[in-house]
Structure 1
């Protein structure tokens, strides 16, 4: 059984909801999923020991929140190359944060990324619950 870590930053709780649904999708597929708030990660080594790392942040004023930016700098030393990765986030207007996280994980960390980042306005709108669970299943297929 593979083990995935989902780390999220949130302002309103929406990104946390999405992270929980991704974790469900991973668990439905028979793997372990641990969900942590970005402030629970104190150093890059906290990301070690997982087969997959999935990072999520809301987009706020066209950017990811500061806690996720800090985590990405710490993650550079976490030896994530080749591990399965995914990125997700919620947004009100533009939704750039998941794309920036995804590109960093793919091009800087050299992770084995799922097809695309998951961008949702809300887990409760337009099939968001199923989309987030399916994203977890897609991650599981790469494990």
Structure 2
């Protein structure tokens, strides 16, 4: 699973928070995941996603990345690398 979320008022965007709660209810354990987030003022998405993944005993692939506002060119390389790392891990 590669999961991404914008930071919204210092928290995860509510649809992503809802998805995480549904995953928690279903007790989806032992998965492979990577994460990324976006923000305008202060990054918080990865800070919220990582503890959830640890709670669910998911294996992290890569370190993830955060995108400030719409500065997509600055993270295209990181996004590509994260996808490549996930592909390699899935092939293992």
Task: Normalising by structure 2, report the TM-score.
Answer: 0.82
Report deviation, 1:141: 2.1
Report which of the two has the higher share of helix.
Answer: 2
| Runs of at least 5 residues in structure 2 that lack an aligned partner in the other structure | none
Structure 1 segments, 4+ long, off by >2 Å, are: 122-126
Query: Within the alignment, does 1:82 sit opposite 2:22 as a pair?
Result: no
Task: Normalising by structure 1, report the TM-score.
Answer: 0.56
Q: What are the equivalent positions in structure 2 for 1:15-34 lying under 5 Å apart?
A: none
RMSD: 1.6
| Residue 35 of structure 1: aligned partner | none
Q: Does the 8 A contact of 2:62 with 2:82 survive in 1?
A: no
The partner residue of 1:118 within 65, 68, 79 is 65
Structure-2 separation of matches of 1:133 and 1:92: 22
| Runs of at least 5 residues in structure 1 that lack an aligned partner in the other structure | 1-52
Q: What are the equivalent positions in structure 2 for 1:35-114 lying under 5 Å apart?
A: 53-76=1-24, 77-79=26-28, 81-105=29-53, 107-114=54-61
